[in-house]
Amino acid sequence: MFIRNFKLWIIIFFILFNSYNAIAEDKIEHKIAVLVNDDIITSYDIFQRLKLTAALKGINLNNQNSQPMINNVVDELIREKIKLSEVDKYQIKIENNEYNQFEKNFFERNKINEDELSILLKENKLNYQDFKMLLTSELSWNKLVNGLFFRLTSASDQEVKELISKNPNLSYEQAENLIIQRQLDLQSSKLLRDIMNEATVEYK
């Protein structure tokens, strides 16, 4: 999916190339950029997620990487809105201990710690809640997918042995978990594709 509306591109273009100008940043308006069913994505939402994504990936925004990043961020926010509508439908709740473990796993995967994250957010004028919202959305969707499909997944002994033969460092349990996770990922993609086909996405 790509940005198909010239007005939206102009809004984001202006935001991007003033992203490090404090005065311009203060003047960014919460204009509706995309309507996803009954949910809105504003130009400010896009701006914040763009900064957060660039900061977490260690990317310096420039003329060369700006457009694909903007496209990716808009697509990400659209998918997030659609996922969260499904999460709400099933009344998925995230407990504090679930979030804390998920955040800890994020730190380990990305080789950063809480102090480094705080510095990163402060340097980029980002709020911790922006980061937490990103992770909570992902965790909520994962919990929904597991709830719907985990009981339908399985890994045969032959599948596990074949995976271990290709990856000798894996334990039996690790290989089994990987096979099951692949099945869940496929179910996740199919579910998202189905609900996106039914969604109404309007660029303003």
Give me the mean pLDDT over the 108-112 stretch. Answer: 93
Give the pTM: 0.86
pLDDT confidence tier of residue 115, bands split at 50, 70 and 90: very high
CB 69 within 8 A of CB 17: no
67 pLDDT above the threshold of 80: no
Better pLDDT: 19 or 155: 155
CATH fold of the domain at 6-203:
Triger factor/SurA peptide-binding fold (1.10.4030)
Give me the mean pLDDT over the 86-103 stretch. Answer: 97
Give me the mean pLDDT over the 68-80 stretch. Answer: 92
Q: Which of 141, 120, 125 is nearest to 44 (CA)?
A: 125
Q: Which of 196, 1, 190, 2 is nearest to 83 (CA)?
A: 196
Give me the mean pLDDT over the 141-165 stretch. Answer: 97
